[in-house]
Amino acid sequence: AQSVAQPEDQVNVAEGNPLTVKCTYSVSGNPYLFWYVQYPNRGLQFLLKYITGDNLVKGSYGFEAEFNKSQTSFHLKKPSALVSDSALYFCAVREVDSSYKLIFGSGTRLLVRP
């Protein structure tokens, strides 16, 4: 069965500094990986996905993610954090069955301090 792990409950970073939110995955076959962000009392917003191709994927709001097959990781990154980036971030992997459901990690809270 597919699974994802987000080892950090919370990541703290100063505004202007680079940020990394970690995600590791376990899949059988080719991984289809996604990052979503959730603001308070809101649904999930799609940030980016990796299906195939370049290991560095660029997404919305200046975010990017690096796919590393040997380390089975898909870490979310941003060169310069903004206070407005403070939110809950979820990594997800697509189940390869008829439902194509998303399997989410437990989430990482990002806090960017001014």
Q: How far is the CB of 31 from other proteins (least distance, A)?
A: 10
Task: Decide: is 5 part of the binding site for other proteins (CB under 8 A).
Answer: no
Task: Decide: is 94 part of the binding site for other proteins (CB under 8 A).
Answer: yes
Stretch that binds other proteins, among 17-25, 45-53, 65-73, 75-83 (CB under 8 A): 45-53
Of 18, 55, 58, 101, the one binding other proteins (CB under 8 A) is: 101
Whether residue 65 contacts residue 75, with contact meaning beta carbons closer than 8 Å, is answered with yes
